[in-house]
A = this chain, B = another copy of it.
Amino acid sequence: MAQPAYLTGDAPAINAFIDRFDVFLFDCDGVLWSGDHVFEGVVQTLELLRSRGKKTIFVTNNSTKSRQEYLKKFADMGIPSDVEEIFGSAYSSAIYISRILKLAPPKNKVFVVGEVGIEKELRSEGVSFIGGTDPSFRREMTPEDWKGIADGSLLDPGVGCVLTGLDFHINYLKLSHAHQYLRRGAKFLATNVDSTFPMNHNFFPGAGSISISLTNMTGQKPVALGKPSQAMMDAIEGKFQLDRARTCMVGDRLDTDIQFGVQGKLGGTLAVLTGVSKAADWEAKDAAAVPAYYVDKLSDLLAAAK
């Protein structure tokens, strides 16, 4: 496969690169920051792009936070942003359910396995749900649960969809409910299927480690609404009415970010080396995807201003 153009230190090439696009989609962790540490020059780089009339959109697979909560994180990190620029997998899932799935009564409720970010986005789209952070699902199984889940008397007949995301409060009770709803024909969605979740410079169980259990039990695979799923790209295109040919995806992971942009037939993809993937990854024969451009770090684009 063709190898990417290396832009770091090449001001004319950077200027030409920027001119090719109207919209930049950014992955966050590993691109703008790592954990709680913002990379140097990120704020100025975003400023430069905006000053040249570019639209900046932040695309994250983390479904534990709503867009409003993400906005707060941007503010805490000193990165100026707007809620309309933020596109998370919880929001992506909510609009997929409300605008594409269009669940109709009597099967219009969602059983949520996940955190408050999903609940807030479902509410913002007017989607009914149960489960989620409801304390009545955060407990041990009782003999009544075994019986009532098995015979269906404890199940909500209105559930037509199971939506799984990252759930720090996962337990046997929630898995048992989700499993039964799927056996009884509920649609299966996942905010994203990342196997791990980066935190504190290490990895923890990701949203995909919950959905894979249900796939193993039922044989059903979820429709995933996060990167690299094109359902998320379609949702972004629908919301922002962007021209794919004039859009560039910026990210640190080949198997989510760069693949997301390549499969979405965007005009370009830019890899940064401040996160998971390294140059050797796209040079490998079995590379998940190869970016069109790369820089050592996002702020290398600032050379365009000089």
Partner of A146, one of B199, B205, B212, B213: B199
Q: Number of contact residues on A: which range applies?
A: 35 or more
Q: Least Cβ distance of A195 to chain B in Å?
A: 5
A170-214: which have CB < 8 Å to B? Answer: 170-172, 175-176, 179-180, 183, 195-196, 199-206, 208-210, 212-214
A199 to B146, CA, bound (A): 8
Residues A172 and B169 in contact in the complex (CB < 8 Å), given A151-B200, A212-B213 = yes
A59-100: which have CB < 8 Å to B? Answer: none
Residues A204 and B149 in contact in the complex (CB < 8 Å), given A195-B217, A209-B175, A209-B217 = yes
**Residues in B neighbouring A204, C-beta threshold 8 A:** 146, 149-150, 172, 176, 179
Partner of A205, one of B147, B176, B195, B201: B176
A287 within 8 A of B: no
Q: Which residues of A contact B (CB under 8 A)?
A: 140-141, 146-147, 149-151, 167-172, 175-176, 179-180, 183, 195-196, 199-206, 208-210, 212-214, 216-217
Jot down 19 A-B pairs with beta carbons below 8 A, ordered by A. A140-B168, A140-B169, A149-B204, A150-B199, A150-B201, A150-B202, A170-B171, A170-B175, A175-B205, A175-B209, A176-B205, A179-B196, A179-B204, A195-B216, A208-B216, A209-B214, A210-B213, A212-B213, A213-B213
Q: Across the two chains, which residue of chain B brings its CB closest to A209?
A: B213
A167 to B171, CA, bound (A): 10
